[in-house]
């Protein structure tokens, strides 16, 4: 079956660029190949992995690779020669060029989201003019606005079961039926979703029905040498005054973070983002007190960065317990 629309655009980009499309994401080639194979096949993608494993970066790289597209100047993403939405049928004939980098609609998973945020709600002025049940009164939500774009669902397992059920028709049939309206909206999209491991606080169970409509690819923490490179390249971009910092400082931060990631005592291990923060703080601690030396600066940076990001497996009313445990472990760091 010949692919059309957003799937055809993705297939052409992947065929032309291959693994280079995901070049900035530092990780195993097999993971990159799995991700691109899913999208090349026109399937919906679920990226699972710990915080800081590069899930959001990978999704943004995919979206940025899309070509520009000319669309009608409506809220539904009609093609100029296919005016099918209520706005275009009513006479909206203007067009606009949407850059490829803007061909992504992001939905941040949260239990506070309402169905109206995803599907749409009434435009009061249009409802008064046309009537509440006229499709011209509908102000489209994020899922409808994903037509001819990638729909990026970040932390999908933080959505309530009710909102997860809203996605089923979109994923299976590429359309959405909105209660109260005698109209079925086609949504030409590929969904790229991310989720943190189920043991993370604030996550919901992903239903079997929803999970069955995704192809799942697992991301893990980067290899130590890749994580060191991430830390040093990011600091060169954001803190160029520290671009000559010794590599040993980044290596010490990454080594300590990986020790904690393998600790049974640690319930929430440090993410790559936490390691980056620790490295940046180590650099600034050294700048403020160079006489103390790099090991002391690294210990100080880790202590501050990990304090709010690492959680131990067993809770305690003693608020200083984590600090004391970190201090004990940091004493081993030289």
What is this structure's pTM? 0.83
Please report, for residues 27, 210, 283, the alpha-carbon distance to residue 238 in angstroms, rounded to integers and kept in the order given: 22, 39, 12
97: β partners: 70
> Regarding predicted confidence, which is higher, 75 or 272?
272
Residue 126 banded pLDDT, cuts 50, 70, 90: low
- Token pair belonging to 105: 């609609």
As a dihedral over the C-alpha atoms of residue 109, residue 7, residue 99, residue 164, rounded to 10 degrees, the angle is: -10
With a cut of 50, say whether residue 319 has pLDDT above it: no
Mean pLDDT over the full length of the chain: 85
Q: Are 144 and 184 in contact (CB under 8 A)?
A: no
CA distance 313 to 315: 7
84: nearest Cα among 7, 180, 186:
186
Residues 240-296 have pLDDT tens digits of: 888 888 899 999 999 999 999 988 888 888 999 999 999 999 999 999 999 999 999
């Amino acid at each position: 079956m010949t692919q059309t629309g957003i799937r055809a655009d993705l297939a052409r980009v992947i065929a032309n660029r291959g693994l280079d499309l995901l070049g900035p994401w530092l990780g195993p080639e097999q993971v990159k190949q799995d991700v691109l194979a899913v999208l090349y096949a026109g399937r919906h993608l679920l990226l699972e992995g710990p915080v800081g494993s590069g899930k959001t970066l990978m999704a943004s790289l995919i979206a940025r690779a899309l070509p520009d597209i000319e669309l009608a100047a409506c809220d539904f993403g009609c093609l100029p020669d296919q005016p099918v939405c209520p706005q275009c049928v009513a006479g909206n004939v203007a067009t606009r060029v949407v850059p490829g980098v803007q061909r992504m609609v992001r939905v941040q998973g949260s239990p506070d989201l309402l169905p109206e945020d995803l599907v749409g709600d009434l435009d009061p002025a249009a409802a008064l003019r046309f009537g509440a049940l006229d499709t011209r009164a509908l102000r489209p939500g994020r899922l409808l606005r994903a037509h001819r774009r990638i729909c990026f669902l970040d932390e999908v397992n933080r959505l309530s079961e009710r909102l997860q059920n809203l996605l089923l028709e979109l994923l299976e049939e590429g359309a959405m039926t909105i209660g109260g309206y005698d109209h079925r909206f086609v949504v030409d999209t590929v969904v790229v979703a991310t989720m943190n491991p189920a043991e993370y606080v604030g996550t919901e169970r992903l239903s079997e029905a929803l999970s069955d409509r995704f192809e799942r690819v697992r991301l893990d923490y980067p290899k130590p040498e890749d994580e060191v490179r991430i830390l040093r390249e990011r600091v060169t971009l954001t803190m160029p005054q520290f671009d000559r910092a010794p590599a040993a400082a980044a290596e010490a931060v990454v080594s300590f973070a990986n020790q904690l990631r393998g600790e049974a005592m640690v319930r929430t291990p440090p993410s790559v983002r936490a390691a980056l923060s620790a490295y940046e703080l180590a650099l600034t601690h050294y700048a403020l007190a160079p006489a103390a030396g790099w090991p002391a600066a690294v210990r100080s940076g880790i202590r501050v960065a990990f304090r709010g990001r690492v959680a131990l497996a067993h809770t305690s009313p003693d608020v200083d317990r984590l600090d004391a445990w970190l201090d004990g472990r940091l004493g081993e760091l030289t």
